[in-house]
Amino acid sequence: MTQPEALERELRRAAAAVDSSPPEFTRAADQAGLVDIAYATTDSPLGPLLLAATPAGLVRLAYVDFEHQDDVLEELAARVSPRVLAVPRKLDEPRRELEQYFVGGRHTFDVPIDWQLTNGFARRVLEATAQIPYGRVSSYREVAELAGSPRGFRAAGNALGSNPIPIVVPCHRVLHSGGGLGGYTGGLDRKRSLLAIERGQGTLA
């Protein structure tokens, strides 16, 4: 068995166990090109976050006190690739942009997005949501219409509820037509906090 094959075997074991790996193994796997999904955790004013990226871009952001970290990593291993490993330096840019956002210093995210965890109408809804400007809000009906189904506002709500990249894809900016908050992955307190910072009512420092 060659060294890359041995590293890949160990990486698959680590992904299956959703366990941490020693730094030397992480470096070797990364250098051998065996990491398809790099992830890192980071603290934020909204609680701990897990960020995961593929070579194409940010593929997952999760509130890990709402979605268990092991469950998120197992989902990534099953749906994207079992080559999942903690490589924090590969998430430096999205972490930096999030820090700037929370203190009011960033109004748009520049990190590329990997949309592969969503498709069809749900993806169109999230792509429409990603275009809602900072400090503005839209409605479930409006994003459904932009996604090509004016009557699909309930399905739009489901798509937003399963948004794999909250904050960066700003589903918190979508409200009920009458102004009600609607739902939010991670809880309505987080949705209120994000809307407050974007309305200039303080920062999440």
Residues taking part in catalysis:
171
What would the DSSP string read from start to end of 140-200? HHHHHHHTT-TT-HHHHHHHHHT-SSTTTS-GGGEE-TTS-----TT-HHHHHHHHHHHTT
Among all chains, which residue has been given the structure tokens 């900072």?
134
Contacts 24+ apart (CB under 8 A), 122-127: 122/155, 122/158, 122/159, 122/162, 123/159, 124/148, 125/155, 125/156, 125/159, 125/160, 126/159, 126/160, 126/163, 126/165, 126/169, 126/171
